[in-house]
Amino acid sequence: MTESSPHPALWPAPYASGAVEATVTVPGSKSVTNRGLVLAALAAEPGWLRRPLRSRDTLLMAEALRAMGVGIEETVSSSSTGDGTTGEAWRVIPSGLHGPVTVDVGNAGTVMRFLPPVATLADGPVRFDGDPRSYERPLHSVIDALRVLGARIDDDGRGSLPLTVHGGGALDGGAVEIDASASSQFVSALLLSGARFNQGVEVRHVGSVLPSMPHIRMTVDMLRGVGAQVDEPETGGEPNVWRVSSGALLGRDLTVEPDLSNAQPFLAAALVTGGRVSVPDWPVRTTQPGDALREIFTAMGGLCEFTETAESTSLTFTGTGRIHGVDLDLSEVGELTPGIAAVAALADSPSTLRGVAHLRLHETDRLAALTKEINELGGDVTETADGLHIRPRPLHGGVFHTYEDHRMATAGSIIGLVVKGVEIENVGTTAKTLPDFPRMWTDMLAGAGSGA
Ligand X SMILES: O=C(O)C1=C[C@@H](OP(=O)(O)O)[C@@H](O)[C@H](O)C1
The residues that touch ligand PEP, with contacts defined as CB under 6 A, are: 108-110, 335, 362-363, 407, 433
For ligand X, the closer of residues 107 and 185 by Cβ is 185
Angle at 110 between CA 177 and CA 130, to 5 degrees: 105
What minimum distance in Å lies between the beta carbon of 406 and ligand PEP?
7
Instruction: Give Cβ neighbours of residue 285 (< 8 Å, ≥ 6 apart).
Output: none
Could you say whether residue 31 binds ligand X (CB under 6 A)? yes
- Using CA atoms, how far apart are residues 280 and 137, in angstroms rounded to an integer? 34
What minimum distance in Å lies between the beta carbon of 112 and ligand PEP?
8
Q: How many residues bind ligand X (CB under 6 A)?
A: 13
- Using CA atoms, how far apart are residues 29 and 51, in angstroms rounded to an integer? 9
- Using CA atoms, how far apart are residues 116 and 106, in angstroms rounded to an integer? 14
Could you say whether residue 264 binds ligand X (CB under 6 A)? no
Catalytic residue among 232, 257, 332, 335: 335
Choose the contact partner of 99 out of ligand X, ligand PEP, none; CB within 5 to 8 A by kind.
none
Amino acid at 5: S
For ligand X, the closer of residues 188 and 314 by Cβ is 188
185 is in an annotated binding site: yes
234 is in an annotated binding site: no
Are 277 and 267 in contact by the 8 Å Cβ rule? The answer is: yes
Instruction: Give Cβ neighbours of residue 6 (< 8 Å, ≥ 6 apart).
Output: none
What minimum distance in Å lies between the beta carbon of 57 and ligand X?
9
What minimum distance in Å lies between the beta carbon of 262 and ligand PEP?
9
Choose the contact partner of 278 out of ligand PEP, ligand X, none; CB within 5 to 8 A by kind.
none
Choose the contact partner of 407 out of ligand PEP, ligand X, none; CB within 5 to 8 A by kind.
ligand PEP
Choose the contact partner of 215 out of ligand X, ligand PEP, none; CB within 5 to 8 A by kind.
ligand X
Could you say whether residue 335 binds ligand X (CB under 6 A)? yes
Choose the contact partner of 212 out of ligand X, ligand PEP, none; CB within 5 to 8 A by kind.
ligand X
* Bridge partners, 315 (sequence order): 279, 306
For ligand PEP, the closer of residues 52 and 109 by Cβ is 109
407 is in an annotated binding site: yes
Q: What is the secondary structure of 382-428 as a DSSP string? A: EE-SSSEEEE------EEE--TT-HHHHHHHHHHHHHSTTEEEETGG
Stretch that binds ligand X, among 19-27, 146-154, 179-187, 194-202 (CB under 6 A): 179-187
Q: Which residues in the 81-140 window bind ligand X by CB under 6 A?
A: 109-110
Q: What are phi and psi of 50, to 5 degrees?
A: -105, 150
DSSP 151: -
Burial class (CB in 10 A: 0-12, 13-18, 19+), 12: middle
Angle at 74 between CA 72 and CA 78, to 5 degrees: 120
229 is in an annotated binding site: no
Active-site residue flag, 335 = yes
Q: Mask: binding to ligand X, 344-383, rule CB under 6 A, as x and -?
A: --------------x-------------------------
Burial class (CB in 10 A: 0-12, 13-18, 19+), 235: exposed
What minimum distance in Å lies between the beta carbon of 200 and ligand X?
20
For ligand PEP, the closer of residues 205 and 406 by Cβ is 406
Counted residue by residue, the chain has a size of 452
Termini Cα distance of the chain = 28
30 is in an annotated binding site: yes
173 is in an annotated binding site: no
Could you say whether residue 188 binds ligand X (CB under 6 A)? yes
Stretch that binds ligand X, among 168-176, 184-192, 248-256, 318-326 (CB under 6 A): 184-192
Choose the contact partner of 50 out of ligand PEP, ligand X, none; CB within 5 to 8 A by kind.
none
- Using CA atoms, how far apart are residues 445 and 393, in angstroms rounded to an integer? 25
What minimum distance in Å lies between the beta carbon of 34 and ligand PEP?
8
What minimum distance in Å lies between the beta carbon of 28 and ligand X?
13
432 is in an annotated binding site: yes
Q: What is the secondary structure of 58-75 as a DSSP string? A: HHHHHHHHHHTT-EEEEE
35 is in an annotated binding site: yes
Q: What are phi and psi of 105, to 5 degrees?
A: -90, -5
133 is in an annotated binding site: no
For ligand X, the closer of residues 109 and 435 by Cβ is 109
Instruction: Give Cβ neighbours of residue 29 (< 8 Å, ≥ 6 apart).
Output: 53, 256, 257, 258, 259, 260, 261, 262, 288
For ligand X, the closer of residues 44 and 209 by Cβ is 209
Residue numbers belonging to the annotated binding site for phosphoenolpyruvate: 30, 109, 137, 185, 366, 407, 432
Residues annotated as catalytic (active site), given as ranges: 335
